[in-house]
Amino acid sequence: MKLKTYITAEKIQEKVAELAARIDEYLGDSEAVMIANLKGSVIFFSDLIRQMKNMNITADFLSTESYAGTEHTGIVKITRDLSMDITGKKVVLVEDILDTGLTLEHIMRYIRDIHNPEDVKICVLLDKPSNRRVELAADFVGFTIENEFVVGYGLDYYEKLRNLPYIALVEEQ
Ligand code: 5GP
């Protein structure tokens, strides 16, 4: 398989530090909850929270399944729920990539309706606005990219390549 570097590990780390500073500015020292949607965001999430200065945050996880082949069908299901009570708290939902927006739209509605937080903001490392199918924007965006399939830094290629330290395009299989 041939991979082409799309965003280097250094550029990612610079951006993660920038995002962490912006989230810190928003949260202050509040007892906020950082939530990662598994599995794709786990690498980004762990780097991001380690760059944050707020030592009152807690971390929680959920996971989703979307019934898709290569095309998104629009049906998203929560397969793992939060384990903590986030009632009345500020929440930052962390996701690897915002593509059609269907996954985050579903999670946002679910968290707001079922878990009653004070507020939910969205932080994504990558944003592909040209592929959006619902009206949704992230509050904290790392990189805005073209409509291309990217892998690495948590993003998988048939479950592999999540451990690649940079983001790449698959040029040949
Ligand atoms: P959405 O619901 O916004 O269409 O997509 C969200 C999910 O689709 C992401 O969390 C990710 O798992 C997957 N996805 C979207 N674009 C890409 C991509 O370019 N590469 C990889 N590996 N996954 C993607």
Ligand 1 atom 19: residue of nearest CA? 149
For each of the domains in the chain, give its residue range(s) and CATH number, in order of start: 8-147 (3.40.50.2020)
Residue 100 alpha carbon to ligand 1 centre in Å: 8
Catalytic-residue membership of 96: no
Q: What's the confidence (pLDDT) of residue 45?
A: 98
pLDDT at 70 over 90: no
Confidence of residue 28 (pLDDT cuts 50, 70, 90): very high
Q: Which of 20, 13, 40 is closest to 107 using CA atoms?
A: 40
Q: What's the confidence (pLDDT) of residue 75?
A: 85
Ligand 1 atom 15: residue of nearest CA? 99
Q: Where are the alpha helices (DSSP H) in 4-144?
A: 9-27, 42-51, 102-115
pTM (two decimals): 0.95
Average pLDDT, rounded, for the chain: 95
The torsion angle over the Cα atoms of residues 140, 143, 149 and 153, rounded to 10 degrees, is -80
Q: What's the confidence (pLDDT) of residue 73?
A: 66
Ligand 1 atom 4: residue of nearest CA? 100
pLDDT at 66 over 60: yes
Confidence of residue 124 (pLDDT cuts 50, 70, 90): very high
Q: Of 20-29, 39-48, 61-70, where does mean pLDDT reach its minimum?
A: 61-70
Q: Both tokens of residue 3?
A: 């991979």
Q: 86 with 115: CB under 8 angstroms?
A: yes
pLDDT at 118 over 80: yes
Ligand 1 pocket, residues with Cβ under 6 angstroms: 40, 72, 95-104, 149-151, 155-156
